[in-house]
Structure formats: structure tokens, C-alpha cells
Amino acid sequence: MKTGVMFILTLVVAQVSLAKPKIDIKKDFDSLGTNSAIAEKAQELDPENRVRIVQNRKVDRTNRLELGFNYGLVTGGDAYYKTQNIGGLLEWHFNPKFSAGLRYSKALNSLTSEGDSLYKDAQRRYQADPTSGYAVPDLDYPIETGLVTVSFYPVYGKFNFFELGVAHFDFYAIAGYGKMNLKSGQTDTYTAGIGVGLWAAQNLAMRLEGRWQPYMDKVFTGERRLDTVVVNATLSVLL
Amino acid sequence: MKLMLLVISFLFQTAAFAQSVAGEEAVQALNQYKNGAKVSGIEALLRVSKPKQIPPDVKSDWNQATEKDNETWKQIGTRWTAPFSGVLDGNFENHLRAWQLRARDIKSSADERSVEELISVLPENGDAKTWAQWQLAMHYGIENKTKSASRVLQSILDSDQELIDQNQVLLAVARIFYQENRLDLSAKYFRMIDKSSDYWLDSVEERAWITTKQKAYDKTLADLTTTLSSLWENKTGPESFFLAMFSNLKLCDYKRIFELTSLFKKRFLPRVVALQDLERRGFNDASQYVIDEFKDGDHPKINSERALKLPRFVDRDELLKREAEALQIVEDEQKENGNALTSVSLMNIKNRIATRFKQLARADLEEIKKNLTKIQLVEAEAIQRMHLNPKLAEKKGRSKISDGLSTIEFPYDEEVWLDELDNYHVDARGCPTKGG
């Protein structure tokens, strides 16, 4: 009897020791990261490792030629006429930070409402009485401008273009010197301004810039300085 | 003498009976095949219990019937075995053997030679040949016979095959180089994998192991920042978490270890519950969706809801895809000529599908469990180190990461931009001093 009981007990013990321990994955999960004091201490020992994104420019502008067509509006000049520019640019990008180029623009002039009314008034007076006097403003409007420029691109960024893709852009500062042909003759001009260049694709770029561009014109009262602001939008091809 | 004659007579009658049963089964299967139910016909043949007893004339009929069949072998799930040798047309049999080959079936050098011979008789650029080569390469890789694996993989790369994704082959090549400890070559092949490929994420994760081996833990973390991104939460495996925690341990970023622990729990605990259920039952609504998509010839779209209930990469499981295609064919056969044989085939295919889901769920659970154990060790080590080294060392300055005007840097704020994936860099600053 005693032997039988011992035998059964031995079997039971053997069964228990041979049985595989139950694997409880959920319990093991629950035991992870439960000590909040330790987690707080970990916060204090922050080594400040930093993750940054470092990527190649989507459009590399090292030793590339940019050929563009632009349209501009001129403000701040003579009160009696307004000028729009159409023109082109040829820009050589030495690297993504610096470029130098040539700008040409053809001026399209028209009278402002004030100028138009003065000329119409003078015309009416003349038609009414050719002998009577009339006054019209002396206009020394621009005909065309040529500039040599340098640009510096210190700030870059990117934006998500309507979920279609990511485009990179650069803000830039521009400075230049050139000549303007006015009605009265040629005059010097210089320019300085800022702009943003959007590099839409490997061969396509867009620019929007605003430049201060002063020059001296000659009206019947003598030379005078005009401080104009030129706002240009450019569409170009990167070669 | 009389007794001996009785015994001999009994044996002959038994043999004749066995032959007639096997023959009968084979003839039924042949009729099924000839009536257009090709898949269930061949499956019925492969279920004949004593194939060696199939009479020669029935074998000859089967040979003729399958002589010009160039596609049904792709849908046969019932395993061909050696006793069936000679029953089917030789070319069909070779294709079937090759198509059903698995790396785990190759157990000895004799098996390797047999598979190499089989590959040599199959037509060039055929799917069966490619599949057999692929399985042989996997076997050689598992057995650490890297030179043989490289040779076979090179044949696959050189061929015009379209069965195995080129990126998958490149991944295998990279792994072989890793096994040979040729880490630079391995990294080179990992980088050849297309970013749009299903295998790209695997390549990034495995590349991280290379930098870990090279003790460049900052580069490991940079790669793992991509794999742990919320964009891939359906596809990231537990090993990425372990490796990230291990690397952070090496860089003494204990804060990040605890952050990753929370993220690991959040991502994997719900999956564990669902996978345990799938392992038990072999099906759920998400698995049914996968099979339905495969049956329609489409690639299943695994959204986050389905991903919780499915093993990882179930959408690219070749075996499930084949079984689903076979299921569609046999269901069509059932509609046209439904009988007991098609019903049995249908049931077997469904059982094989359920078994496959169970296998995949089990493999995922084992992977999670294995990495969970390692993660617990990392956590324990981190806790011990924090107790032993409570102060931070003098922090070294920031290193310059970008390498010229053509590169641009942005801060990382955990917002995911697609163009930034795989472009992360980690600037690691130092570890705590020893002592209090």
C-alpha cells in the first residue's frame, strides 16, 4: 500500500515537473516599463541625442545655367505713367548659395489716370482754342533696362505641394548694376532686393522677387531721382 | 504444401485486390481530370493510398493525359511523393516536383544533388525552375553554404524570370554577404533595393544590423528612425524595437528606451491577442479578405485595422496566394462538375489555408516573444546602469552632419515627410560617468 501511494506520488511529481511552464505573452508585456520612478529618473539622464534630417537637395544647382522669362510691375516712379516690364534672365548658379546673372527688361508704359486726364485736358483746350496755352507733364519714361546681378541664397526650405510632391525653395538677396535707356537717353541704375526661388523640378524653376531700383531721369525741370520698386515673377528652365 | 499454396494464393489475391483498388481510384481521378476538373483530378490521384499498385495501363493513360498540360501543376497543393514517380508525364512531374519544393524539404547532400538535377532539366526562365532555384538558394543560405547560395542567386539574377521580385533576390544576396561578414558588400546590396519595393523596409532594418556590428549605433538609430516611423506601424517588426533599444542602451539614452517600451506595448499587445486567436482558429474576417483578394488576382490592401489581426507580410506569402488561386479553380470545378472528389479537394485546400494562417500567426508570436525577452533584458540593464551611473558626463559638442552645399538639414519633430524617410541622422552626445 505504502509502495503504491509512493509510486502514485512519484508519478504526480514527475508530471508536474515535466509539464511545460505556461507562456503568458500578455503578462510579459504588462511587466514592461511599469516602474514610473525609474522612467522619471531616465528623463533626468537625458543625453540629448538629437535626430536630424539630412538629405540631398532635390534640385542641385551647382554649375547650372538658368534661362528665364519674367514679367514685372514697377511702382513708385513718375506719377503720370505706369510701367510694366517683360524680359528675361540668364543666371549662372555657381553653387546652391551663389549665382550671378544678366537681366534684361523691355518697358511697356501707359499713362496713369492722372496723366491721362492731364493730356486729355490739354488736348481739349487746344482743340477749343489752338492759341490758348496748355500744360502737359514732361515724361522721361524708360524703354529698356539691362542689369548685371549677383544673388546670395542663405535660407532654404521646403513645402508639401498639395500632396503631389515636395518642392524646395530658397530665399535670396540680390544686388546689381546696369543701364537704363530712357526717352531722354541712357542712365545708370542699380538694384537691391529679395526674392524666393522655387525649384519645382530638375529643369523648372520659378522666382518671385521685389527690388528697389533707383535711377535719374531728365524732365524739363532738370534731372531728378526716381526710386522705383520692381516686382518680378519669373518662370525659368534650368539647364 | 497445401498450406503453402493457400498462403501464396491468398497473397496474390490480396495483391490483385490492392492493384484493383489503386487502379480504380486512379481511373476515377483520371475521369475527373478528363472532364475538365483538372486540379481536383490530379489531387485525387495524389491521394491514392498505394500508388505503386496503379496498373501500368492506367499509368500510361495518365501519362498521355498530362503530356500537354503546362499549367495545372501550379495549382496542386497535395504533395507529390516518390511512389507517384512515373505516373504522370515526365515533364509535368518535373514541373510539379519543382513547384512544390520547399527549402525545408532539402535535408541532405543527396537531396541537394537531386534538386540540382531537377533544375537542370527544367526549361530556362520557367516559373518552376525559378521557384526550385529560389528554394535551393534559401536552403544553402540556411545551411550557411554561402558560396552555393551565391551561385544559385546569381543564376536567378541573370535570368529573365519574373516570378521572384528582383528586390527580394537582392535582399537575399545582401543577407548572404552579411552571413559571410562582408558588411560593406552587404550594405551595398541592401541599398540597391528600390524604395518603392515591399522589401525596402526589410532592407533598412537589416542594414541597421550592419551598423550595429560596426558599433556605429548613431547610424543604427538613424536607420531605425525610418523603420519605427508611424507610417510603417503595420509592417514594423518587434526586432526593430529591440535593436533600437539596444542601440539607445549603448548610447545611454535611457529616456528613449522607456519611450520605445511604451510604443512597443502600444503597437504589439493588441496584435498578440488577435494572433493568438488566429493561431487557434486558423481564420478571421481579415484572413478571409486576404484569400478573397488573392482569388480575384489582386494584391490585398492591409490597412491598420486588418493588420492588427494578421501576421506581418501575409500579403506577400506565395504559398497562401497559390492555395487561394487553387481554391478559386476548384470552386469553379465544383460548380461545373461537382462531385465527391472536388468536395474533398475543396476541403483539403481550405484546411491547408487555415494551417498556413496558423503557421504564420505562430511564427509572428514566436518572433514577438523572442524579442520581448530581449527587450526585458535591455530594460533591466538600463535600470541597473541608471542606478550605478547617476550622473551625466561632460557632453561633447554637436557634430556637423551635413557634408556640403548640396545637402540640407531640417530638425526632426516626428512629423513624417515621405521624402525624409531613410535620410535621418543621429547626433549622439555621450554617456554617464561611472560612479555616483
Write the pLDDT tens digit of every residue in B384-419: 888 877 665 555 555 555 556 778 888 887 777 878
Q: What is the mean pLDDT of chain B?
A: 88
pLDDT for B434 equals 45
Q: How far is CA B429 from CA A46, A54, B168, B252, B328, in A?
A: 10, 18, 37, 9, 58
**Which one is predicted more confidently, A164 or B291?**
B291
- B430 has pLDDT over 70: no
- A207 has pLDDT over 60: yes
Phi and psi at residue B342, to the nearest 5°: -65, -35
Burial of A232: CB neighbours in 10 Å, binned 0-12, 13-18, 19+: buried
pLDDT for B355 equals 96
Highest mean pLDDT: which of A217-221, B134-138, B397-401?
B134-138
Are A28 and B272 spatial neighbours (Cβ–Cβ below 8 Å)?
no
Separation between Cα atoms, residue A63 and residue A61, nearest integer Å: 6
Separation between Cα atoms, residue B173 and residue B151, nearest integer Å: 10
Would strands A186-201 and A98-111 be described as parallel, antiparallel, or unpaired? unpaired
pLDDT band at B14 (very low <50, low <70, confident <90, very high): low
Chain A, nearest residue to B254 by Cα: A42
pLDDT for B5 equals 72
pLDDT band at B206 (very low <50, low <70, confident <90, very high): very high
Chain B, nearest residue to A161 by Cα: B417
The answer to whether the Cβ–Cβ distance between A51 and B408 falls below 8 Å is no
pLDDT for B385 equals 86
The answer to whether the Cβ–Cβ distance between A49 and B368 falls below 8 Å is no
- Overall average pLDDT of the B281-294 stretch: 94
**Which one is predicted more confidently, A33 or B136?**
B136
Among partner residues A47, A54, A95, which is closest to B407 by beta-carbon distance? A54
Report the percentage of chain B scoring pLDDT > 90.
59
- The lowest-confidence range among A3-17, B69-83, B260-274 is A3-17
pLDDT band at B204 (very low <50, low <70, confident <90, very high): very high
Q: To which residue does cell 500500500 refer?
A: A1
pLDDT band at B436 (very low <50, low <70, confident <90, very high): very low
- Kindly state whether residue A49 falls inside one of the protein's structural domains: no
The answer to whether the Cβ–Cβ distance between B273 and A38 falls below 8 Å is no
- Overall average pLDDT of the B200-221 stretch: 93
Give the mutation candidate from B229, B383, B405 for the A interface (greatest A CB count, under 10 A).
Answer: B405
- The lowest-confidence range among A116-120, A197-201, B98-102, B176-180 is A116-120
- B251 has pLDDT over 80: yes
Among partner residues A39, A51, A160, which is closest to B225 by beta-carbon distance? A51
pLDDT band at B117 (very low <50, low <70, confident <90, very high): very high
> For residue range B253-263, what is the model confidence (pLDDT) as tens digits?
888 898 999 99
In whole angstroms, what separates CA B285 from the centre of its chain? 22
Range of the domain at A229: 64-238
| H or E stretch at B131 | helix B127-142
- Overall average pLDDT of the A104-127 stretch: 89
- The lowest-confidence range among A30-34, B243-247, B299-303 is A30-34
Q: How many helices (H) and strands (E) does chain B have?
A: 17, 2
The answer to whether the Cβ–Cβ distance between B429 and A48 falls below 8 Å is yes
CATH number of the CATH domain containing A217: 2.40.160
Name beta bridge partners: A201.
Answer: A204
pLDDT for A17 equals 47
pLDDT for A20 equals 47
A20 chain-B contacts, CB cut-off 8 A: none
Name beta bridge partners: B317.
Answer: none
The answer to whether the Cβ–Cβ distance between A42 and B255 falls below 8 Å is yes
- Overall average pLDDT of the B181-193 stretch: 94
- The lowest-confidence range among A76-90, B250-264, B415-429 is B415-429
Burial of B349: CB neighbours in 10 Å, binned 0-12, 13-18, 19+: buried
User: Is the CB of A192 inside 8 Å of chain B's CB atoms?
Assistant: no
Report the percentage of chain B scoring pLDDT > 70.
92
Chain B, nearest residue to A41 by Cα: B386
The answer to whether the Cβ–Cβ distance between A47 and B252 falls below 8 Å is yes
Rg from Cα positions in chain B: 28
- A23 has pLDDT over 80: no
For chain B, domain boundaries: 1-100
- B19 has pLDDT over 80: no
Q: How far is CA A112 from CA A105, A227, B68, in A?
A: 20, 17, 88
Separation between Cα atoms, residue B128 and residue B123, nearest integer Å: 8
User: Is the CB of A37 inside 8 Å of chain B's CB atoms?
Assistant: no
The answer to whether the Cβ–Cβ distance between B432 and A45 falls below 8 Å is yes
Tally Cβ neighbours within 10 Å of residue A220. Answer: 7
pLDDT for B403 equals 58
- A41 has pLDDT over 60: yes
Are B135 and B104 spatial neighbours (Cβ–Cβ below 8 Å)?
no
- Kindly state whether residue A12 falls inside one of the protein's structural domains: no
Residue B24 contacts by C-beta under 8 Å, 6 or more apart in sequence?
A: none
- The lowest-confidence range among B105-114, B176-185, B413-422, B424-433 is B424-433
Are A146 and A137 spatial neighbours (Cβ–Cβ below 8 Å)?
no
Domain count, chain A: 1
- Kindly state whether residue A83 falls inside one of the protein's structural domains: yes
| H or E stretch at B29 | helix B2-34
> What is the three-class DSSP state of A204?
strand
pLDDT for B17 equals 62
Q: What is the mean pLDDT of chain A?
A: 86
User: Is the CB of A63 inside 8 Å of chain B's CB atoms?
Assistant: no
- Enter the ipTM: 0.71
pLDDT band at A3 (very low <50, low <70, confident <90, very high): low
Are A170 and A159 spatial neighbours (Cβ–Cβ below 8 Å)?
no
The distance in angstroms from the start CA to the end CA of chain B is 99
- Overall average pLDDT of the A189-201 stretch: 94
User: Is the CB of A135 inside 8 Å of chain B's CB atoms?
Assistant: no
The answer to whether the Cβ–Cβ distance between A42 and B218 falls below 8 Å is no
- Kindly state whether residue A70 falls inside one of the protein's structural domains: yes
A26 chain-B contacts, CB cut-off 8 A: 269, 272-273
- B365 has pLDDT over 80: yes
* Percent helix, strand and coil across chain A, each to the nearest 5: 20, 55, 25
Q: How far is CA A80 from CA A137, A141, A181, A212, in A?
A: 8, 10, 18, 20
pLDDT for B164 equals 92
The answer to whether the Cβ–Cβ distance between A29 and B412 falls below 8 Å is no
Are B257 and B379 spatial neighbours (Cβ–Cβ below 8 Å)?
yes
pLDDT for B132 equals 95
